[in-house]
A and B are shown apart, each in its own frame.
Chain A
Amino acid sequence: MKTIFAKSVPGRKGVWPEEPEGQITDFIPENLLRENLPALPEQSELDVVRHFTLLSRRNFGVDSNFYPLGSCTMKYNPKFMEDIANLSGFTDLHPLVPQLRGAGHYTQGALEVLYETEKLLCEITGMDAFTLQPLAGAHGELTGVMLMAAYHNYKGNKKTKIIVPDSAHGTNPASAAIAGYEVVSIESRDGIIDPQALKDALDDEVAGLMMTCPNTLGLFERHLREIVELVHSVDGLLYYDGANLNAILGKMRVGDVGFDVVHLNLHKTFGTPHGGGGPGSGPVGVNKKLEPFLPISRVVKLEDGQFFLDYDYPFSIGYIAPFYGNFGVILKAYAYILRLGREGLIRVSENAVLAANYLRKKLEDYLHIPYNRTCAHAMHEFVASAVKQAQKGVRALDIAKALLDKGHHAPTIYFPLIVKECLMIEPTETESKETLDQFVDDLIEILKIAEENPEAIQEAPVNTPVKRLDEVKAAREMILKEQDM
């Protein structure tokens, strides 16, 4: 499809405000102005609406397709949440208003949303305090690791390393490195953390361990207790990557079992849409040990029931975000939690785990399921491997593309890195049995064709707006924008 730049018609009128009188040079000298107007599209309102409507049709989304993208929790995004985030009482609010001493009572509703959301997340996770400021999961990780660093600095601990299991998401080691730590990777055994490998890596310079539980294979970390004790024994801290919280709502609280710091992905567990790559929201929860270091500002409730922003925390790490987080996303998650309530959230995890185990069972005769003896069951997702198929030349990538032809989004592939030809499948609790069964039937059919006629699968996809794309060419030619006219 032509780009909107290629469709541009010089002189065509878009959404133009009235022409002000006079010239900009009446106010600003010419040498401070740009020489030419930027070469942006010149299109009518309809042109623009049609262009983007057509573009949208070239996308899969949760509303139109099953989207079992592992580790991403692509559940249904309830529509009323969008309406709530669009209420003008929220969208029109300037973030600096509550900082104008005394003007805080003009934003009481918004501050209450923040305060109440923090409280709810504390109860859900068993942590003592939350900050909603981190703007995505990885941003939460960075915040969390900086909190760990602040704790160690405060105590005078000389800590230089953070341990990350080899099954961890790439953001974990990246966040630890960016916060200034050396990253020590430990090898998993049977798909979960090996306490012996941890012991071998553990010394007084270890600041902490970053852990995802259930991990990225969808397996519960069965040595959790021992791991927590080991890390705490060197005054290390336990970090919980909450990307997989959808598995354990009401079944385990990370604060209760000894984690010191946790980030959540509101855009996964709490039903806020992913937006084609964001915006997300990555709140961070801590226990009492780390609370003094939380970013400022913090929302506090006064005795008279009023809310205000407190900046007076001498040990705070400071400003992690310009304001209070991705407020529009936080609003949606708050509405989601209120809507579901206690029972609803418990049912979320129960049904997410049910769906994952159902799919795993239905597929176990067709795909290799690694580490299926480590735990009694999978959690909210599971990992399958196309190693058998790969021997015939059909790789995980090919299977993924063939699924697109059937109208399903593909699972996450080639992650986690420790499983070859990996397909990571996360169905979520909101998909019906009919959808799951259809997916199973389609996948089994693909695997049969893969045996008989591998070329057909290697050709996939053929039903999508474009066929398989040449990624090598993209990286080599680096056409990263429309050429200038």
Chain B
Amino acid sequence: MPYIPHTHGQQQEMLSTIGVASIDDLFTDIAPELRPKSFDLPEGRSEMQVRSHLEKLAAKNNTNLTTFLGAGFYDHYIPSAIKAILSRSEFYTAYTPYQPEASQGTLQAIFEYQTAMCRLMDMDYANASLYDGGTAIYEAIMMAVRATKRKKIIVSECLSPIYRCMLDCYTTNLHLDLVTVPHKQGLTDIQALMDQIDEHTAAVVVQNPNFFGCINDFTSLFAKARENGALSIISVYALMQSVLKTPGQMGADIAVAEGQSLGLPLSFGGPYLGIMTCKGKLIRQMPGRIVGKTVDKDGREGYVLTLQAREQHIRRQKATSNICSNQSLCALQSLVYVSLLGPEGLKRTAHACIELAHYAAQKLTSINGITILNDQPFANEFTIRLPVSAYAIIDKLVPQGYVPGFPLGRYYQGMENCLLIACTEKRTKQDIGILVELMRGALE
């Protein structure tokens, strides 16, 4: 059998050491009436056969589409050195670093990751990762509820609708008061958010750039939250954070992000990376693993999992979160990515995306009937309004190999004609030129 090393002789030896005659004798504790009614699975196959089956399935997916799809998940270039490092089995076949002396590689990498995320976000502390950007927002909200002992959460409708669906799901039975503040033509309605803040407010939650692509400075909103004893939570686009005003500068208490843009492939939705950072005062509310620096018996520097009294294996039902395994290898991946590019490389990448998006916006809005949704500055993603349904355009362009963007009508009523368009450095001006021509053709 694959991957089982024992010869028949060795099995017999082991059985006789144990003092039983057969393997079946080891399972006598499972009573006959508990045995399976069926176990009707296919016969095993060779590695070659399985690989060929999966290669066929992979080929059934069309990944040759030129896509302008983003909506929180972006097709950035991934340098080869990342895969080389991630393939080190010392990293990927290890477990959570429970034995620090045998896990300094993983632990130091997480410590460096925490440092990198703090610096990217301008925040005090980061944890070792959460599952994804959505669960990071949920965990941030729960931190705020515990820290403030309040129940009202104000959420901008410009927060990703995917994440808002997740929040609805997670908070179903928690008796929280989730208030959604509508967007205004794709703009985050800062005044309306401020008006909602009161003495019951645990947190206000915004996104930058918002789901429609618009960039804001939330300094005044966060100041208002602070005055009222509420926490400010911001969800950001990790890569763009290399150029945009930071959560720390704006005065956020908790900054989270989906980290996929930092060197992780799209991979049909995962594995991704939940980045979680916070202000110093909130450290004991932080969910998940945290690595700290210390010394060994001889005074040599080393790293350990720390502040574990927050966690489920110590506190059980009183823990800050139930999270155990996180996305450690993905965190390493993002660390390698930011290390390879460095501050200048990240900035250039962001810049390239921003430039292309503005080029695309300008070309697309030169088409009769297409307008940009609002005048707010944007980075590499923007929303246009079409004279027809966005789906009508998608239906025409996809068969021609172009995914023009994300149809906002999928989540926003009244936005059936709106298309959310993202550009990454992997797109070219030629791609955009063709997109514009196809769009023009489709509208004729």
Contacts and interface: CB of A to CB of B under 8 A. Distances in A.
A72 interface: yes
Nearest to A352: B4
Given A43-B342, A331-B54, A37 B94 contact: no
Interface string B15-47: 101111001011111110111111111111111
A253 B322 contact: no
A409 B324 contact: no
A142 B322 contact: yes
What secondary structure prevails in chain A residues at the interface with B? loop
Contacts of A267: 325
A348 B41 CA distance: 14
Interface stretch (A357-365, A385-393, A447-455): A357-365
B377 A29 contact: yes
Contacts of A468: 101, 296-297
Given A278-B330, A480-B292, A338 B53 contact: yes
Nearest to A335: B50
Nearest to B14: A358
A34 B91 contact: no
A292 interface: no
A94 B135 CA distance: 20
A123 B31 CA distance: 20
B217 A31 contact: yes
B294 A177 contact: no
Interface residues of B, number: 206
A39 interface: yes
B59 A109 contact: yes
A340 B44 contact: yes
Interface in A55-84: 55-65, 67, 69, 72, 74-78, 80, 82-84
Given A24-B243, A149-B172, A277-B106, A256 B83 contact: no
Nearest to B75: A94
A432 B47 CA distance: 21
A56 B88 contact: yes
Given A55-B109, A174-B322, A351 B4 contact: yes
B444 interface: no
Nearest to A436: B14
Contacts of A15: 79, 81, 340-341, 345
B406 interface: yes
A324 B269 contact: yes
A136 B324 contact: yes
B85 A377 contact: no
Interface string A146-160: 100110010000000
Nearest to B357: A27
A124 B120 contact: no
B339 A40 contact: yes
B55 A429 contact: no
A95 B95 contact: no
Interface string A256-285: 110000000001000101111111100000
A5 to B, nearest CB: 6
B106 A32 contact: no
Given A90-B58, A277-B106, A136 B26 contact: no
Interface in B96-140: 96-106, 108-112, 114-116, 118-120, 122, 125-126, 128-129, 131-135
A14 B339 contact: yes
B165 interface: yes
Interface in B366-421: 377-379, 391, 394-395, 398, 403, 406-407, 410
Contact of A100 (B60, B289, B352, B403): B403
A314 interface: no
Interface residues on A, range: 35 or more
A469 B302 contact: yes
A195 B96 CA distance: 34
B300 A52 contact: no
Contacts of B261: none
A126 B36 contact: yes
A480 B125 contact: yes
Contacts of A126: 36-38
Nearest to B395: A102
Given A93-B268, A142-B322, A109 B58 contact: yes
Contact of B322 (A33, A57, A141, A153): A141
B215 interface: yes
A469 B325 contact: no
A297 B22 CA distance: 46
Interface string A403-416: 01000011010010
Nearest to B353: A20
B216 interface: yes
B115 A482 contact: yes
B18 A96 contact: no
B441 interface: no
B73 to A, nearest CB: 6
A276 B312 contact: no
Nearest to B19: A361
A89 B23 CA distance: 42
Contact of B93 (A142, A273, A280, A328): A273
B325 A61 contact: no
Contact of B267 (A42, A74, A271, A328): A328
A178 interface: yes
A232 B48 CA distance: 46
B270 interface: yes
11 contacts: A5-B115, A14-B345, A27-B377, A102-B398, A149-B173, A183-B316, A251-B30, A274-B95, A279-B131, A317-B169, A410-B98
- Nearest 9 A/B pairs, CB to CB: A323-B269, A89-B58, A341-B44, A277-B328, A275-B329, A109-B60, A59-B105, A95-B269, A279-B271
Given A51-B339, A89-B55, A123-B38, 7 more contacts: A34-B242, A38-B346, A43-B342, A62-B89, A279-B329, A319-B134, A348-B4
